Amino acid sequence: MARTIGKLARELGINVETVRFYERRGLIEQPPKPLSGYRVYPEETLNRIRFIKRAQELGFTLDEISGLLHLNDNPCSQVQELALGKLDSLQQKIADLRRLEVALKSVLKQCENNPDKSRCPVIDALQP
């Protein structure tokens, strides 16, 4: 199915400028412009942008996605190594968020049991 940049963007639910941005970043190729008419984007571009958007949803940066796209022709072990690094980073963030959750729950519990309404345990906890 032939797609102009506008049709491609609409089908993907993104802005035309996003497509152009991906072209400038080298994430997708800009098709050649015919002598008359508009550039036609192949199915491969549609699938590639879907891959980019899905990878972003999973927390990969555009630089990391670029690396993944370039690894496409390389052994799976290299892709796996990158994914394992991302997983490790994500697990560290989750652990940090859990520690923050425990700390906030503790401070909020202090608020509930605070007899001195002129002082706030949340503010006290944030001060050095």
CB atoms within 10 A of CB 81: 12
Q: Greater confidence, 59 or 25? A: 25
pLDDT tens for each residue of 106-120: 888 888 888 877 788
* Lowest mean pLDDT across 12-21, 46-55, 78-87: 78-87
Contact by Cβ (8 Å): 56, 65: yes
* pLDDT at residue 13, as a whole number: 96
DSSP-assigned letters across all residues of 41-82: B-HHHHHHHHHHHHHHHTT--HHHHHHHHHHTTS-HHHHHHH
3 state SS for 5-17: HHHHHHHHCCCHH
What pLDDT is stored for residue 37 in this prediction? 86
Ranges 33-42, 90-99, 116-125: which has the least confidence: 116-125
What three-state secondary structure class fits 97? helix
pLDDT tens readout for residues 27-76: 999 999 888 889 999 999 999 999 999 999 988 899 989 988 887 766 77
Query: 0.85 exceeded by the pTM?
Result: no
Mean pLDDT of the region 69-84: 79
